[in-house]
Structure 1
Amino acid sequence: MTRLLRALPLLAAALLVCTSAPAAAQTTAERDPRFTLDAASARIGDTVVVRLYDWPQGVVTVRVCGGGEYITSSDCAATDAVTIAADENGEGRGLLTVTAPPVGCPCVVEALDVTGQYRAVADFTVEGVPFLSAEERQQRIDERNPGNAVRMLTVTDFRLRDEDGPWWRDWRTWFALPVRRTAELTVVNTGIEPVTDPAVSVAVGRGDDATTVVYPPRIRELAPGQEAVYEFPVDLPAPVFGSSTVRGEIAGMDEPVVFEATATSWPWGLLGTGALVAGYAAMWLLSGWAVSALRALGRAARAVRRLRGGRRRPPRGGADTAPLPTAEYAKPR
């Protein structure tokens, strides 16, 4: 009985963990980022209070945008935007100074996180900014959605970015070893309906042969006119020599959506090492040949000297050799 009573707190703690984990997962899955303003309209130069709720922890950018439908970053007053830090509870507070957007109203206040995956907008009237006419708004719609596509995503930019760090960070590419790059995909919803979780496929390969599957990014939800940037890792297969192609496709749209980027790298370290080895080998071979040639020349020179010395040496005997005269001396008596 005593053991049972001692085990009850442990059982209660285990039940609390088991019940709280699904709740936390559900809260993360059902995240609904939003914000409120203390005013629905303001003049240029006024300040409004922005309060964030249920955002991912991090930095949220808040700015004034114009243009009505199909708002992109070029329609917003990006230089006068304010950044607000969202805490672990997803809440934050900041002050936004109202400025005129690059295009006319209808205007909104837009808030989005650093990845662009979470976004919220609120209608806002900027006093003193003229409204676009019906013809101008229709012209914007025709330019940004010429085929009147219902479900349409447009890739405005796709690139492979090198890793940040010192100059020697890419030492693996010097020797054609596998290397990781960061792919940056910028997508805009140019349709007239929100797009949620479309199927994205990405592959990588040497040259134009992109056949190795890459784990793709997840496009959660994009409202009409919303722009988002997605980053995901791409491993370039070995040997990393010449060009590598990363090709992707977004399925389920009214029109095909294909994006592609190319990275070029050369194994200068491998080539330099090969050149050094070849140079040392050539020096070794040439030095051996030079020693052999010098030795042969020395032997030839000695042989020539012996021959010349033999010709100059007089013979030891013969008819032409005369004896040396001798002197006789008389002994005194």
Structure 2
Amino acid sequence: MRGLVVVLVLASVLLGLTVGGVAFAAERPVVTLSDSQAGTGGTVTVRGEGWPARALLMVLVCGRATPARGVLGGTNSCANADGRAVTTDADGRFSRRLPVTEPPVPCPCVVHVATATGAKEKADAVFQVAGHPVEALPEETSGGRLSVLTDLRLEGSGSLLTWFGAPPRRTLVLTVGNVGTGSVRDPVFQVGTAHGVFAPQWDERPWRGTIAPGRKARIELPVELSAGAHGDYTVSLKYGGKVVAEQPWRVGRPWGVTLFWLLLCVVVPTAVFRIGMAVVDRIRPPGRRPRQRQRQGRRPRHGRLTTLPGATEGPPRPASTPAVLPWFTPDAGPGPAPHGDRPTSPTPPTGTSPTTPTGKGTP
């Protein structure tokens, strides 16, 4: 009886290990293709399982790649323009038709599937693009193996040109050590920059030098974004097809560009308006020019006598007419009245003296 119990316990343990092993194997991302070869212009159906649930994936045709070594050169070796996105279901499965396009580098080629959001997962399936050239991959460095000893960090700061939209630049600094048995000479790293939830764009950054076994070295790699870039970025470092370090990078907004456009919207319309008014004043006919408001009164001009300011203008008088003086009678006047102003009277007879108004004769 005791032996039967022991057998049953061992059987249950073995069954649990078998089921656990199957479950663990199913959890690993897997990619399968409907065809292993197709020409440009065709399509291939890509299926996957074991991926995170409700995850966004990118599906690409890449060159210079194998499932064992990954994609050499990152997404720069892939046909990014003809890639496709797909979202897994609740069980981590997906199916997507992918157009076949020649990658920018020679084969060997793969269909590369990687997560765009969430945890980093990837898988490759061997695929041959018919008619595309094939070249052997560079040999791997044997014996040496690099390991990151210090955290990845970004050194440097922005400048005045960056404030006006110049490409932001930093230096990626880390320390690596050779934990292998052979030397590592001229290692090639891959630096990727990702904005938000998008997949990183990888660029190769070679480092010149040799790292002996048990030695360490300080690695400095340049990182540059596109002009006008701003927001939250993630800088990743890949070596040997694996991401070894990541570092967030927050890039400020180039406010100088905004200030420039605001000033441009104010200065240019003002300048155009002033130029237009100057042109209008030039081409306007003389008779159409606005007259100045005439002042009250006139001033003498060219020897002519005009009325003074504030004087009331009346009908013009002849220049030859003398000024009119008050009349004086002969009795009240200072002297004899002018001949022209004496009143007419009857001429007395000859020998008779003129009489005065009182009737008496003149002595």
TM-score for the superposition, normalised by structure 1: 0.41
> Would you tell me which structure has more helix in proportion to its own residues?
1
TM-score for the superposition, normalised by structure 2: 0.39
State the structure with bigger RCO (CA 8 A, min sep 6), 1 or 2: 1
Q: Computing the radius of gyration over CA atoms, which structure comes out larger, 1 or 2?
A: 2
